[in-house]
């Protein structure tokens, strides 16, 4: 478990992280989401002992980062945005080098980590000759060579093409079945596709912390239902649908007769679609279309971080 309690960090007059607190439990894949410059990387560098907090405390497992940094580093695998890899080394030699630094003696660990990260086919190639996707896989192998309990990834798909992004996402999900993962990114689709939980940080402060689905559904007023109905006019449609529980308002969408299109604003957690369908059927109308739009993570992010980050 990772506990961050009232942590702040400044660089001169710039407050990068401002009194944040959160707990990450074992087995979670947590996304640290925020605009560029919001304080994500600074937070990760404090957790991984590369920076010391100005105030507050960070505990990883049984150890505080300011009192037992070596013990903390043994439990963490850290892949920064720019992976610390050497282009003139063979992949095999590089992993041997990093394993020696970490005190890993088990040759079976090399085969295991190469298979997990999908780099068996490039073990005897120079790192500098690899595609960026494979370089990122080598970076993941470097971060995991000592079999850490916690894996911390800073912008792990930055600069990758769409196919490489999907490959790395799948790899992170596979790793997350056995380890605690913290994933820092400013890419919304990254979080939705990979993470169980989201912490949104803006200007050094935490502005949201919840499971991804809970954040998307936290504002019931954001839900809307769109319908297109034939056999009636807007007045008839609005009058019939306005009395359904959970319907706040019915707003006409521009369109021509004989089909009437409308947006239905909803509140509450219930699903009014069966009642909408039943009302249309009972009146002998024709339902041409019905679709529901829920709050997106993008809309949540924009509400909470409008103006961008400056820390």
68's tokens: 């037992």
The pLDDT assigned to 216 comes to 65
Q: What is the CATH topology of the domain spanning 2-216?
A: Rossmann fold (3.40.50)
Whole-model pTM: value is 0.73
Cα 32 from Cα 87, distance rounded (Å): 29
The pLDDT assigned to 294 comes to 66
The pLDDT assigned to 43 comes to 95
pLDDT along the chain (311 residues), means of 10: 95 94 91 89 94 95 92 92 88 90 82 87 93 89 90 85 83 85 84 87 91 66 81 92 90 81 83 92 94 73 63 41
Pairing, β 205-211 against β 197-202: antiparallel
117, containing H or E segment: helix 107-117
251, containing H or E segment: strand 247-253
Pairing, β 180-185 against β 29-33: parallel
99's tokens: 């394993």
Structural contact between residues 35 and 298, judged by C-beta atoms closer than 8 angstroms:
no
The pLDDT assigned to 84 comes to 83
The pLDDT assigned to 221 comes to 45
Q: What is the CATH topology of the domain spanning 220-294?
A: Alpha-Beta Plaits (3.30.70)
The pLDDT assigned to 296 comes to 66
97, containing H or E segment: helix 91-102
- Write the CB contacts of 172 (distance below 8 Å, at least 6 apart in sequence): 29, 153, 156, 181, 183, 194
Give residue limits of the domains in the chain.
Answer: 2-216, 220-294
- Write the CB contacts of 30 (distance below 8 Å, at least 6 apart in sequence): 24, 181, 182, 183, 195, 196, 197, 198, 199
The pLDDT assigned to 255 comes to 65
Max Cα–Cα distance, the chain, nearest Å? 77
Structural contact between residues 171 and 133, judged by C-beta atoms closer than 8 angstroms:
no
The pLDDT assigned to 220 comes to 43
Question: Burial of 202 by CB count in 10 Å (0-12 exposed, 13-18 middle, 19+ buried)?
Answer: buried
Structural contact between residues 94 and 86, judged by C-beta atoms closer than 8 angstroms:
yes
Instruction: Tell me if domain 2-216 and domain 220-294 are identical in fold.
Output: no
The pLDDT assigned to 218 comes to 56
Residue 301 Rama label (left phi>0; alpha psi -120 to 50; beta): alpha
């Amino acid at each position: 478990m990772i506990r961050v309690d009232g942590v702040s960090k400044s660089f001169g007059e710039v407050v990068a992280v401002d009194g944040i607190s959160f707990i990450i439990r074992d087995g979670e894949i947590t996304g640290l989401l925020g605009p560029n410059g919001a304080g994500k990387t600074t937070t990760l560098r404090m957790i991984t002992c590369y920076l010391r907090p100005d105030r507050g405390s960070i505990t990883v497992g049984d150890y505080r980062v300011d009192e037992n940094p070596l013990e903390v580093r043994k439990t963490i695998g850290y892949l920064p945005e720019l992976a610390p890899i050497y282009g003139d080394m063979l992949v095999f030699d590089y992993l041997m080098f990093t394993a020696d630094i970490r005190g890993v003696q088990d040759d079976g660990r090399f085969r295991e980590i190469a298979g997990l990260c999908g780099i068996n086919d490039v073990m005897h190639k120079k790192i500098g000759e690899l595609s960026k996707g494979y370089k990122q896989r080598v970076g993941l192998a470097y971060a995991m060579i000592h079999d850490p309990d916690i894996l911390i990834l800073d912008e792990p798909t930055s600069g990758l093409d769409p196919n490489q992004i999907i490959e790395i996402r799948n790899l992170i999900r596979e790793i997350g079945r056995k380890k605690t993962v913290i994933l820092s990114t400013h890419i919304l689709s990254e979080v939705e596709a990979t993470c169980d939980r989201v912490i949104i940080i803006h200007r050094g402060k935490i502005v949201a912390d919840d499971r991804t689905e809970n954040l998307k559904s936290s504002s019931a007023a954001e839900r809307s239902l769109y319908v297109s109905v034939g056999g009636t006019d807007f007045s008839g449609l609005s009058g019939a649908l306005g009395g359904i529980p959970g319907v706040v308002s019915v707003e006409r969408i521009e369109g021509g007769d004989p089909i009437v299109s409308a947006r239905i604003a909803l509140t509450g957690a219930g699903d009014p679609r069966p009642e909408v369908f039943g009302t249309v059927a009972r009146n002998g109308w024709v339902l041409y279309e019905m679709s529901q739009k829920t709050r997106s993570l993008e809309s949540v992010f924009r509400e909470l971080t409008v103006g961008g980050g400056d820390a």
